[in-house]
């Protein structure tokens, strides 16, 4: 398959929009790298609870992780459908991706609400501050992704998302999959690998 | 300004991409990702894995990360420039994480 760069000249022979978006994703790596580093540096250093062991709900988060992984599958199926001009399938899979993204946000809203009810707020301790910042930034990215997907779905219903616009869907897909891989890392380092808290005052 | 036909044809080999994976490949990757996630959660709950939990989970997570990037984000079949543009900041971010963990005494040498 040739890129859409075949339709117009670029100095690299690649579509500039795709290069620009990969560069943006590279910058996002640095953003989330710094947020994850901050979380790890302060993990286990809270002088008061609640902490990771007491509050994280692994079964719930495992389901939301599966939900986000399946949304990535739906996204690639949507792209494949758009590329072959299958409007019905492309609408189905775009809609499914957005729906699974919205379900993930629902899980996150439920989790945040539970934490607040159990006494963990943004300023309660170091864990609360770093946890809400990291997962909140990720959730905001998911929200942007869901909005983007719904926009594409509307364009599809308007008949303006044919195979010639496949690159638009591919770039949205790159964003969505990046959000997915960030969650893969967060699920491991925040939820599954939990350090023993230091003694009070440590 | 449009390139001449000769110039344009010289440019095209660098722009060439291989076919994206098939739907069957996408489904197979989804199954593998699901299985790895189940194994990860299993490792978390089974006390026998406590000693190797952190390295095992990091390896499994890195495997999932790589599968999504290679097959769903198409880096396996796309032009190498995209891989470079993504990998360089990723390596810098990873180095920053490791450096900060050492700096703040999360990892202790010796």
- Provide the shortest C-alpha distance from residue A4 to chain B (in Å): 9
- Provide the shortest C-alpha distance from residue B36 to chain A (in Å): 11
What is the CB neighbour count within 10 angstroms for residue B96?
A: 16
Is A75's Cβ below 8 Å from some Cβ in B?
Answer: yes
User: How does pLDDT run across A81-108, given as a tens digit for each residue?
Assistant: 999 999 999 999 999 999 999 999 999 9
Of B17, B41, B43, the CB nearest to A62: B41
pLDDT score for A179: 98
pLDDT score for A83: 95
Q: State the ipTM, two decimals.
A: 0.90
Residue of A nearest to B106 (CA): A41
Q: Residues, chain A, total?
A: 202
CA triple B29-B33-B39, angle to 5 deg? 145
What does the block give as tokens for B54?
Answer: 């952190």
pLDDT score for A2: 45
Judge contact between B104 and B39, C-beta under 8 A.
no
pLDDT score for B20: 83
Judge contact between B42 and B53, C-beta under 8 A.
no
Per DSSP, the residues of chain A read: -B-GGGGS--SSSS-HHHHHHHHHHHHHHHHHHHHHHHHHHHTT--SSS--HHHH--HHHHHHHHHHHHHHHHHHHHHHHHHHTT-HHHHHHHHHHHHHHHHHHHHHHHHHHHHHHHTT--TTTSHHHHHHHHHHHHHHHHHHHHHHHHHHHHHHHHTT---GGGHHHHHHHHHHHHHHHHHHHHHIIIIIIS-PPPPPTT-
Per-residue tens of pLDDT for chain B, all 110 residues:
444 444 443 344 444 456 788 999 999 999 999 999 999 999 999 999 988 999 999 999 999 999 999 999 999 999 999 999 999 999 999 999 999 999 988 776 65
Give the integer Cα–Cα distance in Å for A194 and B59.
Answer: 16
Which residues in chain B have their CB less than 8 angstroms from residue A184's CB? 61, 64-65, 68
Positions in chain A whose pLDDT score sits under 70: 1-8, 195-202
What does the block give as tokens for A95?
Answer: 């809609």
pLDDT score for B108: 66
Residue with tokens 């396996």: B76
Is B106's Cβ below 8 Å from some Cβ in A?
Answer: yes
pTM equals 0.89
CA triple B68-B73-B79, angle to 5 deg? 130
CB pairs under 8 A between A and B: 152
Of B14, B37, B60, the CB nearest to A62: B37
Is A196's Cβ below 8 Å from some Cβ in B?
Answer: no
């Amino acid at each position: 398959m040739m890129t859409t760069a075949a339709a117009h000249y670029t100095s690299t022979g690649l579509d500039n929009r795709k290069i620009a978006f990969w560069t943006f994703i590279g910058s996002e790596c640095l953003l989330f790298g710094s947020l994850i580093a901050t979380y790890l540096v302060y993990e286990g250093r809270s002088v008061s609870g609640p902490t990771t062991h007491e509050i994280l709900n692994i079964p719930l988060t495992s389901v939301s992780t599966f939900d986000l992984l399946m949304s990535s599958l739906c996204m690639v199926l949507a792209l494949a459908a758009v590329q072959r001009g299958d409007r019905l399938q492309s609408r189905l899979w775009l809609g499914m991706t957005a729906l699974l993204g919205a379900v993930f946000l629902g899980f996150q809203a439920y989790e945040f609400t539970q934490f607040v009810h159990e006494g963990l707020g943004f300023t309660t301790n170091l864990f609360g501050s770093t946890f809400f910042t990291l997962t909140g930034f990720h959730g905001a990215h998911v929200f942007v992704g869901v909005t983007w997907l719904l926009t594409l779905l509307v364009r599809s219903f308007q008949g303006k998302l044919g195979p010639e616009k496949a690159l638009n869907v591919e770039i949205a897909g790159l964003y969505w999959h990046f959000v997915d891989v960030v969650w893969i890392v967060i699920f491991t380092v925040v939820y599954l690998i939990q350090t023993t808290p230091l003694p009070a005052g440590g | 300004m449009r390139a001449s036909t000769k110039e344009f044809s010289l440019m095209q080999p660098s722009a060439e991409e291989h076919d994206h994976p098939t739907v069957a490949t996408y489904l197979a990757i989804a199954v593998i990702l699901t299985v790895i996630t189940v194994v990860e959660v299993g490792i978390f709950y089974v006390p026998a894995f406590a000693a190797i939990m952190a390295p095992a989970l990091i390896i499994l997570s890195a495997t999932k990360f790589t599968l999504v990037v290679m097959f769903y984000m198409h880096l396996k079949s796309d032009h190498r420039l995209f891989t470079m543009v993504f990998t360089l900041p990723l390596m810098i971010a990873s180095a920053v994480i490791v450096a900060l963990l050492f700096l703040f005494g999360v990892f202790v040498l010796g």
